[in-house]
Structure 1
Amino acid sequence: MTLHWEQVVVDANDPVTLGRWWAEALGWVVVDDDDEEFEIRSAPERLPSILFIRVDDPRVVKNRLHLDFRPETGQAAEVDRLLALGARRADVGQGEQSWVVLADPEGNEFCVLSARH
């Protein structure tokens, strides 16, 4: 049996707003614009996707799973761009590291890595 990675599912209070934020942050396209399930992909026919689904309960603890991104333009410039889009810096106890922890508008943590050596 072989498994193929289809999507990452993100619980969201507002799937449309959060999905549009991530689409802009990643430069991805919207493939399903629904109030309850909002899906984005790097290209219309390309997987995996990120699917944002509506949940009513708020997130109360640190995410158990997060995404790491390695920018093409340099870490500092990418962090500045994401902060300007509405991300915020997050402290998850990481201390001084080579990566920067940010949170999206609903508080989901993600990391912006430094350049590969």
Structure 2
Amino acid sequence: MAARFKDLVLDANDHQALADWWCAALGYTRRLPPPGEADPPPEWPVPIHDPQGNGPLIWVSPVPESKSVKNRMHLDVWGRTDELLALGATLLRAREGERDWDVLADPEGNEFCVFTPDAHGIPASRLTRR
């Protein structure tokens, strides 16, 4: 094994605001420093995590440049497109035909795909060809 998954990292011009946006979208919270350690300076990357411990740690890192081309890697999430749009996401491509997901962008333009859970909140197990 040459590598093992660790964390996800999202680049952002306003990393503080985008961290808050993804916390609201995913139900994540900012990861606090260990007891006795000071809060990191505001210019440092912001770690956010799933308080239930189910999702990966995400670092929202400040970068000076704006996003200019399509992501080569993106997030897939279970969720409700209308709720994400109400939070400030942008619809890039609506589901149609055999594609059962919407493509959205976060407030800084990072693309992600949204799959709708079934009526009981359980992700559908159907495999879809991309």
Structure 2 partner of 1:27: 27
Which has the larger helix fraction? 1
Consecutive unaligned residues of structure 1, counting only runs of 5 or more, are: 72-77
Consecutive unaligned residues of structure 2, counting only runs of 5 or more, are: 33-39, 118-123
Superposed displacement of residue 46, structure 1: 6.7
Q: Deviations over 1:36-85 (max 9, x none)?
A: 311100028776211011100111100000011123xxxxxx11110000
Q: Secondary structure at the match of 2:69?
A: coil
State TM-score, norm by structure 1: 0.80
State, as a whole percentage, how many aligned pairs show the same letter: 39
The alignment's C-alpha RMSD in Å is: 2.6
Residue 26 to residue 45, structure 1, CA distance change in 2 (3 Å)? closer
Alpha-carbon distance between aligned partners in 1 of 2:100 and 2:56, rounded to the nearest angstrom: 27
Query: Of 62, 77, 98, which aligns to 1:54?
Result: 62
Contact map agreement 1:31 1:44 (CA 8 A) in 2: no
Which has the larger strand fraction? 1
Moved more, 107-116 or 10-19: 107-116
Write out aligned runs for 1:1-117 (5 A): 3-32=3-32, 34-43=42-51, 48-71=56-79, 78-91=80-93, 96=97, 97-115=99-117, 116=124, 117=126
State TM-score, norm by structure 2: 0.72
Residue 103 to residue 25, structure 1, CA distance change in 2 (3 Å)? same
Q: Secondary structure at the match of 1:24?
A: helix
